[in-house]
Chains A and B, each alone.
Chain A
Amino acid sequence: MSEMREVIDLTDEYYSLNFKSPKIAGALSAIVPGAGQLYLNRKRDATAAFILNGLFIWGIIAAIENDESAVAAILGVFEVGWYGGNIYSAVNGAHKHNRKLKDSYRRKFSIGLNLRVNNNYETIPTFNISYNF
């Protein structure tokens, strides 16, 4: 009976895990480079994304103002990469964060109750209980 209670508690625990939304992370980084990483509490990544995007955008504007169209084009090509990478980084970070939470939850479930949790990242967890006799 106590084991059953433990199973119920652990199942409830899954829903209280602090998952991050990849869509929100990506949208935040699209609006302000680095904001999605900040949402994921990855402060170094957020700083890198903000500074790099800021510097390249500043460089492009300065080049356009000085009629240096070739420099602006070269910087623009790199900026497309930094900006796209910044959004990808935020979405990817959210997926990695969620995967780590699910993995540690699964491990806890398996160790604590000697149960096998099915390998499924997409939906609610399911598990098998086996008895030795």
Chain B
Amino acid sequence: MVPTIKNRPLDRIPEKESNYLKIYALGSITFYKHFISPVNGDRCKMEPSCSTFGYQAYKKHGFFWGTLLTFDRLLHEGNEYRVSFVMSHKDSTGNIKLLTYDPVENNDFWLNDEN
């Protein structure tokens, strides 16, 4: 078999779900980021943070895949350092902490081929 290099444009993923659901999800995350997260504190061990990841996932893939990606992110925090890069990050107080780099692209690279 002759190997072929597949083209993977991300906009090929069909977005059939209602736009209202996507707007509702993005609004909820924005509300969380502005009003709840500052009180709750910065405790996410990953970069981007889970709420930012969720926002980017909904924006990029719509409601259905965005929901799956966001819940997946909330579940896979524990073991991610084994398969992704770990980076150092200086927070607003000057403390350096280690964060696992796990953007949306790290979780949807196989999605286009499946669809």
Interface residues of A (CB under 8 A from B): 22, 37, 42-45, 47-49, 52, 81-82, 84-89, 92-93, 95-97, 99-100, 118-120, 122-124, 126
12 A–B pairs (Cβ distance < 8 Å), ordered by A: A45-B76, A48-B78, A81-B71, A85-B70, A87-B68, A89-B72, A99-B109, A100-B83, A118-B5, A119-B5, A124-B1, A126-B3
Q: How many angstroms between the C-alpha atoms of A119 and B75 in the bound complex? A: 30
With both chains docked as a complex, state the minimum distance between the C-beta of A89 and any C-beta of chain B, in angstroms.
Answer: 4
With both chains docked as a complex, state the minimum distance between the C-beta of A77 and any C-beta of chain B, in angstroms.
Answer: 10
Q: How many angstroms between the C-alpha atoms of A118 and B82 in the bound complex? A: 25
Who on chain B is nearest to A43 by CB? Answer: B79
> Which of chain B's residues 1-39 have a Cβ closer than 8 Å to chain A?
1, 3-6
* Contact-residue bracket for chain B: 20 to 34
Sorted nearest first, the 4 A-B pairs with minimum C-beta distance are: A85-B71, A44-B78, A88-B68, A42-B79
* Per-residue A-contact encoding for B70-105, CB less than 8 Å = 1, 0 else: 111011111100111000000000000000000000
Q: In the assembled complex, which residues on chain B have CB atoms less than 8 Å from the CB atom of A47?
A: 78
Q: In the assembled complex, which residues on chain A have CB atoms less than 8 Å from the CB atom of B69?
A: 88
Q: How many angstroms between the C-alpha atoms of A44 and B78 in the bound complex? A: 6
Q: In the assembled complex, which residues on chain B have CB atoms less than 8 Å from the CB atom of A100?
A: 83
- A89, A95, A96: the one contacting B75 at CB < 8 Å is A89
With both chains docked as a complex, state the minimum distance between the C-beta of A69 and any C-beta of chain B, in angstroms.
Answer: 22
Inter-chain contact A123/B79, CB cutoff 8 Å? no
Q: In the assembled complex, which residues on chain B have CB atoms less than 8 Å from the CB atom of A37?
A: 79
Inter-chain contact A49/B75, CB cutoff 8 Å? yes
Beyond A44-B78, A85-B67, A86-B75, 10 additional contacts (C-beta under 8 Å) are: A47-B78, A49-B75, A85-B74, A85-B75, A86-B71, A88-B72, A92-B107, A95-B109, A96-B84, A126-B3
Q: In the assembled complex, which residues on chain A have CB atoms less than 8 Å from the CB atom of B77?
A: 48
Q: How many angstroms between the C-alpha atoms of A43 and B78 in the bound complex? A: 9
Q: In the assembled complex, which residues on chain A have CB atoms less than 8 Å from the CB atom of B75?
A: 45, 48-49, 52, 82, 85-86, 89
Who on chain A is nearest to B67 by CB? Answer: A81
Among the interface residues B72, B74, B77, which one has the most CB atoms of the partner chain A within 10 A?
B72
